[in-house]
Structure 1
Amino acid sequence: MRRFILTLGALLALAVPASAQQVQNLAAINGWVAYIAQSNAGPLCGMGTEANSVGRFFWIKLERLNGDLHGFIQVGDRAWNVRQGATGRIVVGIDRQRAELNYTGTNRPDMIEASYRGAFRNFINFVEAFAGGYRMQVSFPGEDVAPWSADLRGTRAVTEAFLACARRI
């Protein structure tokens, strides 16, 4: 898993779709975008937002590794200085549902990455909750980081494009 995270971190060095090779945007609305990218490991589906003027970003990504689909979330802030390999927890709340994820610091000090684990039954249920949600809140228990909040209105179209991408890879 560590090798996967390091490889993925290197491939997505800027944590935005444009940083991957051969990127194709699939849908965009209300500041959220879905895309497919060709990485060294194969196709990668993603959706997220560059967020806003405060420098935050949130990406949900899906990649096929050794025949299995793996979901993960990347969260970042240009003001962060997280050491590589640092660990902790984040909680992603979508309306009344919550998923708790363990994160690892990446090779970028402004980004953390979490493999999907949580209260949602599986990653696709998490993505579907995202599509139907109105508001998302991301919190960082035990850290000196204020919770983030994001408007999810309009994400259904972006999520449907993401899920169609996931079915193709």
Structure 2
Amino acid sequence: MSVRRLVLALAALSAMAMPASAQQVRNLAEVNGWVAYVAQSNSGPLCGMGTDANRLGRFFWIKVERLRGNLHGFIQVGDRAWNVRREATGRIIVAIDRQRADLNYTGTSRPDMIEASYQGAFENFLNFVRAFALGMRMEVIFPGETVAPWSADLRGTRAVTEAFLACARRI
């Protein structure tokens, strides 16, 4: 696959993982299958980073947007084979090397995706993002569900994370 086709495919996939209201997506950095982007949504600009680049149909996105004047962090996890009810709730654990974030999720308007709002101080969310940048391996665990843990290589994500954080500082 040519680099041009890969960039177009990643841009199309990243648009699918963002809220339906997101428009005007611009990629900021791409490394090792991970991409950072900025988009304009109905509520204003949002910054995100993540990946769709896998053969299993899974995606993982971290995003931040300003809602009612405050920055909010979100994690979106999905699998094209899922069929999750919109009102479904549960728990996921995102482990980066030895650090863990325990998050509550809800189903979204898309049956193939769940979204977890990062609870607690926004500074804790930024610490999570920094751990992502420095991490070697990430595992997403679904306690109480019949979904096997996911594992992802984080090598090279520092450049993507730096672009994401620079974007978050601007919004």
Query: Common fold, TM-score beyond 0.5?
Result: yes
Q: TM-score, normalised by structure 2?
A: 0.87
Distance (Å, rounded) in 1 between the aligned partners of 2:28 and 2:134: 19
CA distance in 2 between partners of 1:102 and 1:16 (Å): 19
C-alpha contact (below 8 Å) 1:17/1:23 kept by paired residues: no
Shift of 1:72: 0.4
**Match of 2:117, as an amino acid?**
S
1:1-150 to 2 correspondences below 5 Å: 14-16=16-18, 20-117=22-119, 122-150=124-152
Any idea what the Cα deviations from partners look like across 1:5-58, whole Å, max 9, x if unmatched? Answer: xxxxxxx98215998311110000000000000011000000000030110000
> What SS class does the counterpart of residue 144 from structure 2 fall into?
coil
CA contact (8 A) 2:76 2:115 kept: yes
Number of matched residues?
157
Superposed CA RMSD: 2.0
Q: TM-score, normalised by structure 1?
A: 0.88
Query: 1:55-94: per-residue Cα shift (whole Å, max 9, x none)?
Result: 0000000000111000000000001111111000000000
Q: Is the 8 A contact 1:13 1:108 kept in 2?
A: no
TM-aligned CA distance change 1:121 to 1:142, over 3 Å: farther
Asked whether the 8 Å contact 2:107–2:114 carries over to 1, the reply is yes
CA contact (8 A) 1:94 1:130 kept: yes
SS at match of 2:148: coil
Tell whether the 8 Å contact from 1:17 to 1:37 is kept in structure 2 after alignment: no
User: Which residue pairs with 1:5 in the alignment?
Assistant: none
Structure 1: tracts of 5 or more residues without a match = 1-11
Could you tell me whether the CA contact under 8 Å between 2:21 and 2:41 is conserved in 1?
no
Identical-pair percentage: 82
Q: Is 1:16–1:50's contact at 8 Å kept on the other side of the alignment?
A: no
CA shift, 1:161, in A, is: 0.1
